[in-house]
Structure 1
């Protein structure tokens, strides 16, 4: 995994602040490959909040805080509303190939 323990802590703490105490987070994409170089931080998040307007605001605030705490870098966030019947392949891929952070 190519994020530091400090970055992991910041991501988890900030996600809990904005998405609820029951949030689940996976790191996926190139950052799970220790042999790769560079790449953005791809996060798959299953939040406890489900209201769409609340999720949009939470995502914006989450990203704003991460950039303040970790510096400007590319961070992609995939949110999955658990009460939605929509099943995207990115959800399955992120959970199967990713590393659960929380």
Structure 2
């Protein structure tokens, strides 16, 4: 995994503050592979129903930028109990829980 322990902690803390303490954050994509270089930070956030709002997503991105600086971060939010999209399946199968 190509995130520092401080970056991992900042992502977990920010997700918990915005989406709730029960939010599960997974890193997926190129940053999971230690042999690769560069790439954006791809996150999958699983949260309780009612938490996946546009306002929360904007708050998360803004707060995370304050924690880890301006980095290219892509993320998707899934509410528990909802239908699994292909991106959800991919993140759950290939991602690593932070």
Whether TM-score is above 0.5 comes out as yes
Residue correspondence of structure 1 range 57-96 to structure 2 within 5 A: 57-84=55-82, 86-96=83-93
How does the TM-score come out when normalised to structure 1?
Answer: 0.90
Shift of 1:73: 1.0
**Runs of 5+ consecutive residues of structure 1 not aligned to the other structure:** none
Runs of 4+ in 1 over 4 A off after TM superposition: none
Q: Secondary structure at the match of 2:79?
A: coil
- Aligned match of 1:15: 15
Q: Report whether the alignment pairs 1:36 with 2:36.
A: yes
Shift of 1:14: 0.5
Q: Secondary structure at the match of 2:76?
A: strand
How does the TM-score come out when normalised to structure 2?
Answer: 0.93
Aligned partners of 1:27 and 1:98 also within 8 Å: yes
* Aligned pairs, number: 98
**CA–CA separation in structure 2 for the residues paired with 1:23 and 1:74:** 21
Q: Secondary structure at the match of 1:34?
A: coil
